[in-house]
Amino acid sequence: MIQKIHHVAIAVQSLEDALRFYRDTLGLPVHEQATREDQGVKAVVLTIGQSEIELLEPLGPDTPVGRFLERRGEGLHHICFQTDDIDKDLAELKAKDVELIDQEPRQGLVGRICFLHPRSTKGVLLELAQPPE
Amino acid sequence: MIQKIHHVAIAVQSLEDALRFYRDTLGLPVHEQATREDQGVKAVVLTIGQSEIELLEPLGPDTPVGRFLERRGEGLHHICFQTDDIDKDLAELKAKDVELIDQEPRQGLVGRICFLHPRSTKGVLLELAQPPE
């Protein structure tokens, strides 16, 4: 079911500052930039091997990432595992009483996604994603 | 220089509980277990694609992972990037005034490693690792 780490997301105050480190100092190439008004974030995606680093800057304080920064400061925000069958996985997770944030897959930045609740994952905000074929 | 995400580490209260989710529910295979007295942790390593998930349980409260749990609770602890030349990388990071936890590479769980300080990485405890050839 799970194939690889699709991405690791980092919450930052400023994409510009964060790019100075992740792109310029570490040398990771940028392959996508996007503003997602509905999710309240600006994102920059960098490539690392077969995975990605997603830098997330909130569009304002009253957004999920804005509240995360207020509560915990900058740092690791969530991890995303790639699956080849998100419907099957979600059905199995429900059958095993895993607490879900999304009861059904929805369209996200990287394909069909759903988030699992940190209460079921040892404190980790965990996303599953099935990219388009 | 940087080739891939080598692993993502998760701090947990109990490896046994965490394995119930990451191994049994998600189905990730375990490929290594180790107790590191010097680092104050018991670790279980699971395979995910070309990367790994490292579950870390502290050997006691007065250890780095024990203090992390006390301060922040269970969750994402650090991320490790694999490099093919840690000496060169470390020299470059020093030249760019990146704040380091380890001034020189040392022998770690997965090869020659060093940790960068979260002050230089937007709040992320970041490990570089050069596995043995």
Residue ranges of domains in chain A, CATH in brackets: 2-130 (3.10.180.10)
Say what the pLDDT of residue A34 is: 93
**Cα A10 to Cα A42: distance, rounded to the nearest angstrom:** 12
Q: How many CB pairs under 8 A join A and B?
A: 112
The answer to whether A6 and A79 have CB atoms below 8 angstroms apart is: no
Between CA A107 and CA B132 the distance in angstroms is: 41
Q: What is the mean pLDDT of chain B?
A: 96
> By C-alpha distance, which of B13, B90, B124 is closest to A22?
B124
In this complex, which of B17, B27, B123 lies closest to A74 when CB atoms are compared?
B123
pTM of the model: 0.96
A130 pLDDT above the threshold of 90: yes
**For residue A68, what are the contacts with CB-CB under 8 A and spacing of at least 6?**
A11, A58, A77
Residues B26 and B70: beta-carbon distance below 8 Å: no
How confident is the model over B21-66, as pLDDT tens digits?
Answer: 999 999 999 999 999 998 899 999 999 999 999 999 999 999 999 9
Q: What ipTM was predicted for this assembly? A: 0.95
E-state strands within chain A: 2-11, 30-36, 41-48, 51-58, 75-83, 106-108, 111-116, 126-130
Chain A residues 83-102 within an 8 A CB cutoff of chain B:
92-93, 96, 98
Partner-chain contact A8 B5, CB within 8 Å: yes
Residues of B in contact with A73 (CB under 8 A): 123
A4 pLDDT above the threshold of 90: yes
What's residue A75's pLDDT? 98
Residues contacting B24, CB < 8 A, separation 6+ = none
pLDDT (tens digit per residue) in A75-85: 999 999 999 99
The answer, yes or no, to whether residue B113 has pLDDT greater than 80, is yes
pLDDT digits (tens, 9 = 90+) for A47-75: 999 999 999 999 999 999 999 999 999 99
Nearest 5°: the CA angle A11, A55, B31 is 90
